[in-house]
Chains A and B, each alone.
Chain A
Amino acid sequence: MLSFLGMDSLDQLFAHIPAAVRLSQGLDLPDGMSEPDVAEVFARFSAANQAKSPEMLCFAGAGAYDHEVPAVVKALAGRSEFVTAYTPYQPEVAQGVLQAIFEYQTMVSRLSGLPIANASLYDGSAALVEALNMASGATGRQRMLVSAGVHPHWRAVARTFAVGTGHEIVEVPLKDGVTDWGSVVAAGAAAVVGAYPNYLGVMEDMGGAKRLAVANEALFVLACDPVAAGVLKTAGQWGADVFVGEGQAFGTSVSFGGPYLGLFACSLELIRRLPGRIVGETVDSNDRRAFVTTLRAREQDIRREKATSNVCTNQTLMAVTAAIQLGWLGTYGLREVATRCAQGAHFLFDEVTKIKGVEPVSSQPFFREFAIRVPKKASKVLSRMADRGILGGLSDAALNAGGAMDAVANSERVILVSATERRTRSDIEQYVKALRKAVD
């Protein structure tokens, strides 16, 4: 090949790079290893992770849930045509991905109760940030009223990006686990953002947030648990203009936090401001049904500095996985999963609150997750439970950065707990026993 180019060394290909900046000794990295040798390295990483299944029973949630992912979903979502495709720029050879996304958009639209769903965003926090950008574009205003019931990490992400966009993030505190909308000045708001159920698991009446949004001509953005959306009122039924959510629960393992799936849906009026990609149905030149990414004129590669979002990649494989998982669950399977999560969480709640010194943080109705206050430091309690093979939930200190429980008082003694449909009665009884010992 070199001789075809009239060259006799690979170095000649790089001769035009200034010698002053070129590496003379190569990279300061060891030489490559064989795959079996690298597998050993990874086996050590794996062994050093104690908080893994099945060794440790997972009762942690906070937007990352240990749901059943069946063999059939892994097999289909792992097919290499889905895994190793690029963004469907050439629709004639990308109908597989395009149709799967179209089906995904239909499912998200139905679960959100809103007519337009995009092809996905990075994760729930990214979906929230895009919703705020959309609200700013739609209203021309910068003031975002965000319930403290929205996931604290999502709010943190929103604050980070607000530095660039100039958004003012106003956090609305919780009172007994419910957003105290009356405690902040709503005038001039671009968005009113609630969470349903909220971070503490509480199902808030979202009517007040909706009225606040209408009165101030702001967008009403609702962050929903998409599993709960299988049985609870939809974002559309609460009057939301925008639905955002974390779609990890649909077929993706907890994965140490990523890649996850940002769910996004909105009303028809907002479609020209939709972030990310959207797939539409059309026909080919022989008048057969075909799918294609559409409304491309909104996107960054065409609008450049005038674009309202810089999203290029979305999270297609996770969206396809979600469509397959929801196809597997079907109408009644999703309802069953949602119901069992609620049953498991309530059974667990009833048992742990019998333990002396363990109290609920809120008296409000919850769905599949709840917060308890324990008599000792939460991180200590969780550490003792871990010794018994129980990942007992999430504490403020879990990420050593604080802020995970910023919405509640005495947060250092609070544990956020959830039980999915995978947790058996025996699992729950082990939890109760471990907690009783840990607080003793």
Chain B
Amino acid sequence: MSSNALPGGRAASAPILGHEIEPTVFEMSVAGRSAYQLRTTGVPATPLDELVPAAHLNPEVVALAEVSERDLVAHYTRLTHRQFSVDLGAYPLGSCTMKYNPKFCDAVAADPGLNSVHPGAPAELTQGWLELLVTLEEKLCAVTGMAAATLQPSAGAAGELTGLLLMRAFHNANGDPRSRVLIPDSAHGTNPASVTLGGYEVTTIPSNDRGLVDLAALKAALGPDVAGIMLTNPNTVGLFEEEITEIAAAVHDAGGLLYYDGANLNAILGVVRPGDMGFDIVHMNLHKTFATPHGGGGPGAGPVAVSARLAQFLPGPKATRVEKDWYDWVKPAKSIGRVHAWHGNAMVLARALAYIEVHGGDGLTRVAQRAVLNANWLRSRLSATLPAAYDRVCMHECVLTAAPLKAKYGVRGLDVAKGLLEEGFHSPTVYFPLIVDEALMFEPTETESLQTLEALAEAIERIEKRASNDPESLHRAPQTTPVSRVDEARAARHLIPTEDAASR
């Protein structure tokens, strides 16, 4: 490490300016002001009441804001100054893979040759898009070791539900309908929710004292009514399921399928593929692994790849290479139908393909290596302050515990998280997974430098010192952010979801 280099990822100098509240756009509204300009069309300006029967016209005017372009720009620019982002600083939010999003991928998506294409235009006029989608499908299959994929699901959770419907279609086609799906107790909350919406019952499998699936408990839970198991590997504790081949054999022997929750795919790119581990269905979160920007909570994209025996059930119509250099929409033979109004979150898919092409097979492997190296370095560096819940080599993220700070100083994981905001870092994920007491899940990703990781570790050490000297100050943290600790209970108790409710 260059000893004088300063960290790029610490946003302590952040332009988080506003400590005064920003008015809402409605509070800035002045009757008669406007920003909009529309084309001069020359179309006859027939009065609306001659085109629309009176019974359909709203007798009232729906009020929006009335602001100038200048005020609109000022308002939303100031709002961005009250917002943390990856571009601003490190975002070690475990399980969320908040890596830097290369600008090149956004530039690709800004091309009107892609984004001005109507989704209902016929295939012969959209060959570029179809080729792009087919190319992405092939690359995703190469990464996961699967045979075919759908690009339709809008996000990871939509991919999960799609995967469960594929599981259902497979068993039903075999005349073998089943009723239960197994899920480890460390799973993401979307897994059990998706299972329920997929029409299955959840059977929870306990973790063993190493943080992994308890193989004996899994075997005991298997039976002819089990449709399959949903696994995240590495799991949500950041550990690789070392008995994966035994798990796969046991589930397959019982006639079940293995579903791979791709939330943590970043850890294994180029190292091991879900298909080689025995998984039958794999969803990917493109906004995690392939760095499409998360947009403050979407859009994502959640393609689902499957093994050959499940390909005929995939959602459709599907972009397909029907002959050399010619593409068309084809519905798989036993398709479960559409899971998206059109073809999926196409602009997100395009960004992900750009990311994959720039990285290539070699670059994707380096992504996983560096992500795992960074997480292990941080785990080891912080071992005296925040011990790991399972102290051994982790994958791309590490689950640490604030339990010692709680015991010694009464400072909880949430207080550490809020203290980190004052230090110019985003917080880790708090209180997940549920099986770890005072969990703090750090995922530094491959894009943060050693200098940034060192600065993060030093910030946590300062927080520990504060915990011993002045724990009360951490309960009050953060104070240097645009707002201080937010009263979440009040928000739920006195619900104000709109400006109109606020003024009532």
Contact = CB atoms under 8 A, between A and B. Distances in A.
Contacts of B123: 400
B76 A100 contact: yes
A407 interface: no
A281 B491 contact: yes
Contact of B341 (A39, A124, A309): A124
A71 B146 CA distance: 42
B323 interface: no
Contacts of A122: 154-155, 158, 298-299, 340, 345
B51 A85 contact: no
Contacts of B432: 301
Interface string B369-390: 1001110110011000000000
Interface stretch (B78-86, B252-260, B402-410, B464-472): B78-86
B120 to A, nearest CB: 4
Contacts, number: 689
B338 A1 contact: no
Interface in B268-299: 268-273, 276-277, 287, 293-299
A69 to B, nearest CB: 10
Contacts of A295: 492, 495
A237 B59 CA distance: 10
B175 interface: no
Contacts of B338: 125, 153, 156-157, 160
A39 B392 CA distance: 42
Q: How many B residues touch the partner, as a band?
A: 35 or more
B475 to A, nearest CB: 10
Contacts of A70: 36-37
A172 interface: no
Interface string A357-386: 000000001010000000000010011001
Given A100-B79, A258-B299, A340-B41, A23 B271 contact: yes
B481 A92 contact: yes
Interface in A185-234: 203, 205, 229-234
A26 B361 contact: yes
B139 to A, nearest CB: 6
Q: How many A residues touch the partner, as a band?
A: 35 or more
Contacts of B58: 231-234, 237
Nearest to B316: A401
B360 A305 contact: no
A83 B365 CA distance: 26
Given A81-B83, A303-B193, A307-B189, A329 B36 contact: yes
Interface string B469-504: 000000010100111111110111011111111100
Contacts of A126: 154, 158
Interface string A49-80: 11111101010101110101010100110111
Contact of B345 (A105, A229, A259, A305): A259
Q: Which of A18, A286, A337 has the most CB of B within 10 A?
A: A18
Interface in A290-309: 290-292, 294-297, 299-307, 309
A165 B484 CA distance: 42
A89 B297 CA distance: 10
A76 B345 CA distance: 21
8 contacts: A76-B73, A166-B199, A260-B341, A300-B190, A312-B157, A313-B299, A317-B296, A320-B295
Of all A-B residue pairs in the complex, the 9 with the closest CB atoms, nearest first, are A257-B342, A46-B113, A317-B295, A96-B83, A257-B119, A32-B360, A259-B299, A48-B128, A301-B189
